[in-house]
Amino acid sequence: MNDPCISCRDLTLRFPVYGADARSLKKRLVRVAVGGRLVQHAKVTEITALSGVNLELRAGDRLGLVGHNGSGKTTLLRALAGVYEPDEGEVEVRGRVAALLSLSLGIDPSASGLANIRLRARIAGLTEAVINEKLEEICAFTGLGPFLAMPMKTYSAGMQARLAFAAATAVEADILLMDEWIAVGDAEFQESANRRLHELVDRSGILVLASHDHGLLRRYCNKVIRMTGGMPSQLTDIESLDDLLNS
């Protein structure tokens, strides 16, 4: 198998916002100093969420994304995961991708915990045979025992997060995309969750991690980009993180 890679060439993404006043929206974005460019045509306001992103990552790269809320970090991760198609430019991703972007993705509140494990695992790209092979381990990791037979809507928020986390991380991937470092459950479960995530990161060829935790980025990443208004800074070594943040 070829080594994993990520390549973005002039990646641009725009989202229409219907029924919005462009001038009012622009004032609000200026006040919070984040967000993309606004353009209005044919009574439709368009937000340019990503603009001209050029990026090349190869096996061994561990990229950290920094920036304010709304700066484009999550949008870039979703574009790399194939959730969004570029309006301009290209995205090429080679290798199996695991995207830990939302623990609630694919959860059916009316279905049992066990059924949701199967559903979430299928969304993550696991085959039925692999799910059957991993099912016992995933169930054990949740620590939910007989509650797995109950509908998810009867779960507490912590129980739901345990199940979703266990299913989402039961993957083998060449490329790992993560939006923040997920902390769920009580202290004991968080310790197990962190070990599981560490192992997942170690096994992946490429990591792209968006986080406000700069200590975490220094621990796991060797490169960093700062997103501002949908536009990336130059790719730099993680040792230059402080300089990048103060620039």
CATH number at residue 204: 3.40.50.300
**Confidence at residue 212, expressed as pLDDT on a 0 to 100 scale:** 92
Q: Give the pair of three-digit tokens for residue 52.
A: 């001209």
Left (φ > 0), alpha (ψ -120 to 50) or beta: where does 176 sit? beta
Q: Based on the domain organization, do 120 and 204 belong to the same domain?
A: yes
Question: Do 210 and 180 contact (CB within 8 A), yes or no?
Answer: yes
How far is 138 from 136, CA to CA, in rounded Å?
Answer: 6
Whether residues 132 and 162 fall in one domain = yes
Where residue 45 sits, what CATH number does that domain have? 3.40.50
Output the pLDDT for position 160. Answer: 87
To 5 degrees, how large is the angle CA 214–CA 124–CA 188?
A: 55
Which residue ranges of the chain lie beneath pLDDT 70? 1, 18-44, 181-185
Pair (137, 69) in one structural domain: no
Is 49 a member of any domain? yes
Residues 25 and 70 in one domain: yes
- 48 & 77 share domain: yes
Tell me the pTM. Answer: 0.81
Same domain, 104 and 17: no
In whole angstroms, give the CA distance from residue 2 to residue 177: 19
* Structural domains counted in the chain: 2
Distance CA 200, CA 206 (A): 11
- What is the span of the domain harbouring residue 132? 100-208
Residues 200 and 112 placed together within one structural domain of the fold? yes
